[in-house]
Amino acid sequence: MSAQREMKEKNHWKTPVTIIITVIGVIVIVALVTVAVLQNKPLLQKYKYGIVLDAGSSHTALYIYKWPAEKDNNTGRAEQMHVCKVKGPGISSYAANPWKAGESLRVCMEEAKQWVPGKRHHETPLYLGATAGMRLLNMENSTASDKVFQAVKEALQSSPFSYQGARILSGQEEGAFGWVTVNYLDDRLKQGLETTGALDLGGASTQISFVSDNFDGSESPSNSVTFRLYGNDYNLYTHSYLCYGKDQALRTVVAQQTQSGPEKILDPCSNPGYNTIKNYSVLYDSPCVSNRKPQKAPASFHHVGKGNFGECQKIVRSIFNFTDCKYSHCSFNGVFQPHLQGAFGAFSAYYFVMSFLNLTDTSMPLETVKEKLTSYCSTPWEQIKQQHRAVKEKYLAEYCFSGTYILTLLTEGYNFTSESYSKIKFIKKIKGSDAGWTLGYMLNLTNMIPAEAPDTPPLPHAGYVSIVTIMAILLFILFILSLRPLWPRCSKLPQVV
């Protein structure tokens, strides 16, 4: 009797133990699965943001980038979220009123505050990089350049973002980061694919950057930039030609025609019927041409269009020096350049000009490109204006020169042949992000491209979760089986007895 009671009491005790064990088991399963889910992926996809201001010679643009805020930055791709074009000219144009340079940025800075979520403002890095316009101002008047930077810094520091500095990029940096952007957006770096060269045509300078098998940097170290990205070594050739941006090259071509200080020039690079008065002091107010300034000249001259592609190309050719070269190969002006290799992406003014002129199809023979330019250049100015009422007159007036300049720079300056020309792609954006140096610059400064290939997880996220879930269930079943001797079935034994 007492044994039976003991057994009954024991059974009373066993049932709650089984329940507790079951509850603990369920909790363990839930905890394990939750850990697996959380460790590998945040429940809510959050983004990080970065802002880069491109203070170019002709204008400033503010780019906002975003990327998934995963454990390490290297797994998600950064993409352009928004671009804000600053109204007015580039910051170097405010040399006489530096505070206005800072003021000009305010509208876009306000816009940035709307695009980046408020709670991310303080952790969002903000950079400003200035290019050829500020390089020229710095050469001409470093005090004025410092004052412009001071004004710009104050404007940026007063924003809620994490200001990381404003500086002038070197030509090598500008070229190399443009190359990084293009290849990053094309996913060529991560996958270790053959890279694409980058051609950037700005207002005051132009860059060419590419990887060439027969360039190791030894022949001209100043043209060499090395990178180790995702476990691959790149020896990049890059050169930036100051004064060979579209605006400065045009200035040089007009200066070339006004060296004797005439009152009128008949310019083959402007359409027939184009006629405007230009100021000598404005034209020669740039270190790119100041040494050519005529000794004796009136205050202004009549700039009259003649519209002749062939003659225009002759003058354009004359701003390149093709004779001096101390290296095995040169492009122009005695600058070393290895043999062109692979495909190229051409952006900025290359794209603006060639898309306007319907010349982005590079399978078109070079002869056809010349014919189309001949036709555009010879079209009367009034007709051009009538046909393109929505396009800014300043741009319209320059397309004959710009097209001629681009063709000459590519084929005679950089030595693109009809075959290699067909490997150029005129581009504005890649997968929604603008081609340009800004993204590459930010990726570099935020260490978002690792030197070594990231450790790829042997299993995707879902795989981890499934395995942990199965293991947890198996463990639980084993655990329950191990408790068999305590199962309620035992409590019935005394009744049988």
Ligand X SMILES: Nc1nc2c(ncn2[C@@H]2O[C@H](COP(=O)(O)OP(=O)(O)OP(=O)(O)O)[C@@H](O)[C@H]2O)c(=O)[nH]1
Does the active-site annotation cover 110? Answer: no
Provide DSSP, 294-352: -SS--SEEEEEE---HHHHHHHHHTTS--S---SSSBSSTT-B-----S-EEEEEHHHH
**Contacting positions for ligand X (CB under 6 A):** 56-59, 90, 131-133, 202-205, 245-247, 348-349, 352, 356, 395
Task: Report whether 447 contacts 58 (CB < 8 A).
Answer: no
Q: What is the chain's percent helix, strand, coil content, to nearest 5?
A: 45, 20, 35
Nearer of residues 168 and 312 to ligand X, judged by Cβ: 168
Q: Which does 352 bind (CB under 5 to 8 A by kind): Ca ion, ligand X, none?
A: ligand X
Contacts of residue 339, Cβ cutoff 8 Å, sequence gap at least 6? 212, 214, 329
Cβ 132 to ligand X shortest distance, Å: 4
Answer yes or no whether residue 129 interacts with Ca ion by CB under 5 A. Answer: no
Contacts of residue 299, Cβ cutoff 8 Å, sequence gap at least 6? 279, 280, 281
Q: Which stretch binds Ca ion (CB under 5 A): 134-142, 196-204, 389-397, 489-497?
A: 196-204
| Tokens standing for residue 279 | 């100021």
| Tokens standing for residue 146 | 């410092």
Nearer of residues 90 and 345 to ligand X, judged by Cβ: 90
Contacts of residue 46, Cβ cutoff 8 Å, sequence gap at least 6? 68, 69
Cβ 128 to ligand X shortest distance, Å: 13
Q: Which stretch binds Ca ion (CB under 5 A): 48-56, 286-294, 308-316, 351-359?
A: 48-56
Cβ 204 to Ca ion shortest distance, Å: 8
Cβ 53 to Ca ion shortest distance, Å: 12
Nearer of residues 56 and 98 to Ca ion, judged by Cβ: 56
Burial class (CB within 10 angstroms; exposed 0-12, middle 13-18, buried 19+) of 83: middle
Nearer of residues 57 and 138 to ligand X, judged by Cβ: 57
Q: Which does 245 bind (CB under 5 to 8 A by kind): Ca ion, ligand X, none?
A: ligand X
Q: Which does 25 bind (CB under 5 to 8 A by kind): Ca ion, ligand X, none?
A: none
Q: List the catalytic residue out of 6, 111, 123, 174.
A: 174
- According to DSSP, the residues that pair with 430 across neighbouring strands are 433
Among 202, 338, 345, 440, which residue sits at the site for Ca ion (rule: CB under 5 A)? 202
Q: Which does 280 bind (CB under 5 to 8 A by kind): Ca ion, ligand X, none?
A: none
Sequence ranges of the binding site: 203-207
Nearer of residues 173 and 247 to ligand X, judged by Cβ: 247
How are beta strands 205-211 and 197-201 bridged, if at all? antiparallel
Task: Report whether 403 contacts 352 (CB < 8 A).
Answer: no
Handedness of CA 469, 470, 472, 477 (dihedral sign): positive
Phi, psi (deg, nearest 5) at residue 216: -115, 5
Answer yes or no whether residue 178 interacts with Ca ion by CB under 5 A. Answer: no
Q: Which does 59 bind (CB under 5 to 8 A by kind): Ca ion, ligand X, none?
A: ligand X
Nearer of residues 40 and 331 to ligand X, judged by Cβ: 331
Q: Which of residues 49-78 bind Ca ion (CB under 5 A)?
A: 56
In 3-state terms, what secondary structure has residue 54? strand
d(CA 300, CA 303): 9
Q: Which stretch binds Ca ion (CB under 5 A): 201-209, 273-281, 444-452, 481-489?
A: 201-209
Binding region for Ca ion (CB under 5 A):
56, 202
Active-site residue numbers?
Answer: 174
